[in-house]
Amino acid sequence: MIIVIQCKDQVGLVAAIAGVLANENINIVSMREHADTIDNRFFVRIEAEQYADHKMLEEKLYDVLPADATVKVNPSPEKKIIVLVTKEYHCLTDILIRNHFKTLSATVQCVIGNHPGLQNICQRFDVPFHLVSHENISKEIFEKQMLSIIRQYQHDYIVLAKFMRILSSQFLEQFFMRIINIHHSFLPAFAGANPYKQAFERGVKLIGATAHFVTNELDEGPIIAQQIIPVNHSFTAVAMMKAGKEIETAVLARALQLVFDDRVFVYQNKTVVFE
């Protein structure tokens, strides 16, 4: 059983929470607590061994916590996700494979693409694919068409698996901190377009990738995970892009695992990640 709690920090929170658990005779296997003493926020993630009435436990925890608290007891271990893609396959197929073999900790409800290229691979995995082309229509209509599909499916998160269109504030605000993007650079270096071309021209010795929640500020949302790989003078911009795809796949997979395991808390423009 996983318990995650976020609220404003004050003395006695751990005692109060652990007291509730002890009263219910629930043993704690692993506990991670963090207090941001600058922003005065409290975060805790508890793995507890025994099972109980989740609803009642949640209420008992709310009873001892500040009014602003959010408590989730046993957050659904199987999240539901919708994946948005354009042409590149590498992140999508990694998700489809894990989904197929039930090691994703989530279920892919459908894939929406603004290009038909990845329809075939979705079909091979019996995952619904919806084509919503952005061509010859306004962004407003493009997003409305996507929204009408999204609403057909239950979903906890939307994953931008190399989706190459910029989404509007109107679209984004409907999924606050529930859209996860993989950015093809070690943010904040090389934000924006063509990061591999920028990296090549700058002659860097490492390239990276960043998984983050999407906010209105392009490439500026809370960072979930980052990784890098070494490159050198023998890498052309194309070779850097190829190497980058490997690291993009790995970082997005890692970030999704962390989010789906309820290890990621968001506040301000940051994350607390209990790895």
Catalytic positions:
219
Nearer Cβ to its own copies (33/58): 33
SS3 of residue 265 by DSSP: strand
Any idea which residue has 């500020």 for tokens?
217
Indicate which single residue of 205, 216, 218, 238 sits in contact with its own copies (rule: CB under 8 A).
Answer: 205
CB of 11 to its own copies, least distance (A): 5
CB of 151 to its own copies, least distance (A): 29
Site for its own copies in 96-155 (CB under 8 A): 97, 100-101, 103, 121, 124-125
Inter-residue contact 130 to 151 (CB < 8 Å): no
Inter-residue contact 70 to 146 (CB < 8 Å): no
Helix, strand and coil in the chain, % to nearest 5: 35, 30, 35
CB of 170 to its own copies, least distance (A): 26
| Cα angle 239-104-148, degrees, rounded to a multiple of 5 | 90
SS3 of residue 186 by DSSP: coil
Starting at the edge strand found earlier in the chain, the sheet holding 179-183 runs 129-131, 106-113, 79-85, 157-160, 179-183, 206-213, 223-230
CB of 55 to its own copies, least distance (A): 21
Site for its own copies in 162-191 (CB under 8 A): 186-190
Task: Write out the two tokens for 72.
Answer: 């989730």
3-state secondary structure 9-46: CCCCHHHHHHHHHHHCCCCEEEEEEEEECCCCEEEEEE
Sole window of 53-61, 143-151, 159-167, 202-210 interacting with its own copies (rule: CB under 8 A): 202-210
Nearer Cβ to its own copies (122/150): 122
Total residues in contact with its own copies, by rule CB under 8 A: 69
Q: How far apart are CA 222 and CA 224, in angstroms?
A: 7
Site for its own copies in 5-64 (CB under 8 A): 9-19, 21-22, 25-37, 44, 49
Task: Write out the two tokens for 54.
Answer: 């989740």
Nearer Cβ to its own copies (87/151): 87
For residue 233, what are the CA distances in angstroms to 177, 236, 237? 38, 8, 10
Nearer Cβ to its own copies (194/227): 227
Q: How far apart are CA 208 and CA 211, in angstroms?
A: 10
Site for its own copies in 71-100 (CB under 8 A): 89, 93-94, 97, 100
Indicate which single residue of 111, 167, 250, 256 sits in contact with its own copies (rule: CB under 8 A).
Answer: 250
CB of 223 to its own copies, least distance (A): 5
CB of 187 to its own copies, least distance (A): 7
Interacting residues with its own copies (CB under 8 A): 9-19, 21-22, 25-37, 44, 49, 89, 93-94, 97, 100-101, 103, 121, 124-125, 186-190, 202-206, 208, 222-228, 232-234, 242, 246, 250, 253, 269-273, 275
